[in-house]
Protein backbone atom coordinates (compact mmCIF):
# COMPACT_ATOMS: atom_id res chain seq x y z
CA UNK A 1 0.00 0.00 0.00
CA UNK A 2 1.20 3.51 -0.77
CA UNK A 3 2.07 6.16 1.76
CA UNK A 4 -0.90 7.88 3.33
CA UNK A 5 -3.16 4.89 2.76
CA UNK A 6 -4.20 2.56 5.49
CA UNK A 7 -4.99 -1.11 5.54
CA UNK A 8 -8.59 -2.15 6.14
CA UNK A 9 -9.33 -5.57 7.55
CA UNK A 10 -12.63 -7.31 7.10
CA UNK A 11 -13.98 -8.95 10.22
CA UNK A 12 -16.06 -11.77 8.77
CA UNK A 13 -17.60 -12.71 12.13
CA UNK A 14 -19.24 -9.30 12.51
CA UNK A 15 -19.94 -8.55 8.86
CA UNK A 16 -23.58 -9.62 9.01
CA UNK A 17 -24.08 -7.79 12.30
CA UNK A 18 -22.54 -4.57 10.96
CA UNK A 19 -24.71 -4.69 7.84
CA UNK A 20 -27.75 -4.42 10.09
CA UNK A 21 -26.66 -1.31 11.99
CA UNK A 22 -26.98 2.30 10.96
CA UNK A 23 -26.37 5.60 12.71
CA UNK A 24 -30.07 6.25 13.31
CA UNK A 25 -32.08 3.28 14.70
CA UNK A 26 -35.20 4.52 12.93
CA UNK A 27 -33.60 4.04 9.50
CA UNK A 28 -35.08 0.99 7.83
CA UNK A 29 -32.72 -1.25 5.92
CA UNK A 30 -34.26 -3.75 3.57
CA UNK A 31 -32.73 -7.13 4.18
CA UNK A 32 -34.04 -10.39 2.85
CA UNK A 33 -34.95 -13.08 5.34
CA UNK A 34 -36.22 -16.63 5.04
CA UNK A 35 -39.84 -15.45 4.98
CA UNK A 36 -39.11 -13.22 1.97
CA UNK A 37 -37.79 -16.27 0.13
CA UNK A 38 -40.76 -18.39 1.21
CA UNK A 39 -43.29 -15.73 0.13
CA UNK A 40 -41.54 -15.20 -3.21
CA UNK A 41 -41.65 -18.94 -3.89
CA UNK A 42 -45.39 -19.11 -3.12
CA UNK A 43 -46.09 -16.08 -5.27
CA UNK A 44 -44.24 -17.76 -8.12
CA UNK A 45 -45.93 -21.14 -7.60
CA UNK A 46 -49.41 -19.91 -6.60
CA UNK A 47 -49.96 -16.44 -8.10
CA UNK A 48 -53.70 -17.01 -7.66
CA UNK A 49 -53.39 -16.81 -3.84
CA UNK A 50 -52.89 -13.74 -1.66
CA UNK A 51 -49.98 -14.86 0.52
CA UNK A 52 -49.59 -11.50 2.29
CA UNK A 53 -50.56 -12.94 5.73
CA UNK A 54 -47.42 -15.09 5.56
CA UNK A 55 -45.29 -11.95 5.58
CA UNK A 56 -46.45 -11.17 9.12
CA UNK A 57 -47.48 -14.45 10.69
CA UNK A 58 -44.61 -16.58 9.40
CA UNK A 59 -42.26 -14.05 10.98
CA UNK A 60 -44.23 -14.22 14.24
CA UNK A 61 -43.99 -18.00 14.11
CA UNK A 62 -40.24 -17.96 13.46
CA UNK A 63 -39.73 -15.37 16.19
CA UNK A 64 -41.70 -17.57 18.59
CA UNK A 65 -39.27 -20.42 17.92
CA UNK A 66 -36.31 -18.13 18.63
CA UNK A 67 -38.02 -16.90 21.79
CA UNK A 68 -38.70 -20.47 22.92
CA UNK A 69 -35.01 -21.27 22.44
CA UNK A 70 -34.01 -18.14 24.41
CA UNK A 71 -36.44 -19.05 27.21
CA UNK A 72 -35.00 -22.54 27.49
CA UNK A 73 -31.47 -21.12 27.73
CA UNK A 74 -32.50 -18.64 30.44
CA UNK A 75 -34.35 -21.26 32.46
CA UNK A 76 -31.72 -23.98 32.12
CA UNK A 77 -29.18 -21.62 33.70
CA UNK A 78 -31.37 -21.82 36.82
CA UNK A 79 -32.25 -25.52 36.49
CA UNK A 80 -35.87 -24.77 35.65
CA UNK A 81 -38.24 -26.11 33.05
CA UNK A 82 -40.49 -23.60 31.24
CA UNK A 83 -43.57 -24.88 33.07
CA UNK A 84 -41.79 -24.45 36.42
CA UNK A 85 -41.00 -20.85 35.50
CA UNK A 86 -44.66 -20.25 34.60
CA UNK A 87 -45.93 -21.49 37.97
CA UNK A 88 -43.23 -19.79 40.04
CA UNK A 89 -43.63 -16.44 38.31
CA UNK A 90 -47.43 -16.61 38.58
CA UNK A 91 -46.98 -16.88 42.34
CA UNK A 92 -44.29 -14.18 42.38
CA UNK A 93 -46.50 -11.73 40.45
CA UNK A 94 -49.28 -12.25 43.01
CA UNK A 95 -47.26 -10.19 45.49
CA UNK A 96 -46.64 -10.92 49.16
CA UNK A 97 -47.29 -13.48 50.56
CA UNK A 98 -46.81 -14.98 47.05
CA UNK A 99 -49.64 -17.45 47.16
CA UNK A 100 -52.58 -18.47 44.98
CA UNK A 101 -55.19 -21.18 44.99
CA UNK A 102 -54.69 -24.06 42.54
CA UNK A 103 -57.69 -22.68 40.61
CA UNK A 104 -56.03 -19.29 40.23
CA UNK A 105 -52.87 -21.00 39.01
CA UNK A 106 -54.94 -22.92 36.45
CA UNK A 107 -56.34 -19.66 35.09
CA UNK A 108 -52.90 -18.10 34.79
CA UNK A 109 -51.07 -21.07 33.28
CA UNK A 110 -53.86 -22.52 31.11
CA UNK A 111 -53.37 -26.17 32.06
CA UNK A 112 -55.78 -28.83 33.32
CA UNK A 113 -56.46 -29.50 36.98
CA UNK A 114 -54.64 -32.85 36.90
CA UNK A 115 -51.60 -31.27 35.25
CA UNK A 116 -51.52 -28.48 37.85
CA UNK A 117 -51.75 -30.97 40.73
CA UNK A 118 -48.78 -32.85 39.27
CA UNK A 119 -46.81 -29.63 38.83
CA UNK A 120 -47.48 -28.48 42.37
CA UNK A 121 -46.38 -31.91 43.67
CA UNK A 122 -43.13 -31.71 41.73
CA UNK A 123 -42.38 -28.14 42.80
CA UNK A 124 -43.13 -29.06 46.43
CA UNK A 125 -40.58 -31.90 46.24
CA UNK A 126 -37.99 -29.39 44.97
CA UNK A 127 -38.83 -27.07 47.91
CA UNK A 128 -39.87 -24.27 45.56
CA UNK A 129 -43.50 -24.10 46.73
CA UNK A 130 -45.49 -25.30 49.72
CA UNK A 131 -49.14 -26.18 50.26
CA UNK A 132 -50.99 -24.43 53.07
CA UNK A 133 -54.57 -24.71 54.31
CA UNK A 134 -56.83 -21.99 52.90
CA UNK A 135 -58.15 -20.01 55.91
CA UNK A 136 -61.26 -19.00 53.96
CA UNK A 137 -62.11 -22.56 52.79
CA UNK A 138 -61.69 -25.54 55.15
CA UNK A 139 -61.27 -27.96 52.23
CA UNK A 140 -59.13 -25.67 50.11
CA UNK A 141 -55.39 -25.20 49.88
CA UNK A 142 -53.12 -22.35 48.89
CA UNK A 143 -49.84 -22.73 47.05
CA UNK A 144 -47.11 -20.42 48.33
CA UNK A 145 -43.60 -19.71 47.08
CA UNK A 146 -40.80 -20.70 49.41
CA UNK A 147 -37.84 -18.34 49.81
CA UNK A 148 -35.90 -20.59 47.42
CA UNK A 149 -38.78 -20.49 44.93
CA UNK A 150 -38.90 -16.71 45.07
CA UNK A 151 -35.14 -16.50 44.43
CA UNK A 152 -35.46 -18.87 41.45
CA UNK A 153 -38.37 -16.85 40.04
CA UNK A 154 -36.46 -13.57 40.37
CA UNK A 155 -33.19 -14.89 38.94
CA UNK A 156 -34.78 -16.71 36.02
CA UNK A 157 -36.91 -13.68 35.14
CA UNK A 158 -33.78 -11.50 35.03
CA UNK A 159 -32.12 -14.09 32.76
CA UNK A 160 -35.16 -14.24 30.49
CA UNK A 161 -35.31 -10.45 30.17
CA UNK A 162 -31.64 -10.36 29.15
CA UNK A 163 -32.37 -12.93 26.42
CA UNK A 164 -35.44 -11.01 25.25
CA UNK A 165 -33.55 -7.71 25.15
CA UNK A 166 -31.00 -9.39 22.90
CA UNK A 167 -33.77 -10.50 20.53
CA UNK A 168 -35.16 -6.96 20.37
CA UNK A 169 -31.82 -5.14 20.14
CA UNK A 170 -32.31 -4.15 16.50
CA UNK A 171 -35.39 -2.07 17.36
CA UNK A 172 -35.41 1.40 18.88
CA UNK A 173 -37.53 2.12 21.95
CA UNK A 174 -40.13 3.75 19.72
CA UNK A 175 -40.19 0.78 17.34
CA UNK A 176 -40.63 -1.61 20.28
CA UNK A 177 -43.61 0.43 21.46
CA UNK A 178 -45.15 0.47 17.99
CA UNK A 179 -44.64 -3.27 17.58
CA UNK A 180 -46.12 -3.97 21.02
CA UNK A 181 -49.21 -1.93 20.09
CA UNK A 182 -49.67 -3.74 16.79
CA UNK A 183 -49.28 -7.15 18.38
CA UNK A 184 -51.74 -6.15 21.13
CA UNK A 185 -54.30 -5.40 18.42
CA UNK A 186 -53.87 -8.95 17.14
CA UNK A 187 -53.85 -10.75 20.50
CA UNK A 188 -56.50 -8.79 22.44
CA UNK A 189 -59.49 -10.40 20.68
CA UNK A 190 -58.17 -13.87 21.55
CA UNK A 191 -57.34 -12.92 25.15
CA UNK A 192 -60.75 -11.33 25.75
CA UNK A 193 -62.94 -14.03 24.26
CA UNK A 194 -64.60 -16.31 26.84
CA UNK A 195 -63.65 -19.99 26.64
Cα gap 148→88, rounded to integer Å: 10
Burial of 128 (0-12, 13-18, 19+ CB in 10 A): buried
- Are the CB atoms for 59 and 101 separated by under 8 Å? no
pTM of the model as a whole: 0.72
Burial of 31 (0-12, 13-18, 19+ CB in 10 A): exposed
21-72 residue pLDDT tens = 344 444 555 678 899 999 999 999 999 999 999 999 999 999 999 999 999 9
Bridge partner residues of 129 (DSSP): 145
Amino acid sequence: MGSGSREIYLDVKTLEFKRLHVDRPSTLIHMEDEVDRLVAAWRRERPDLDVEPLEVLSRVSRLARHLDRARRIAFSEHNLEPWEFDVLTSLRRAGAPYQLSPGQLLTQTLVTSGTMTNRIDRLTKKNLVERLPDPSDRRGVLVRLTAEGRDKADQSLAGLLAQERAILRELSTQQRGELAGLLRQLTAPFDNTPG
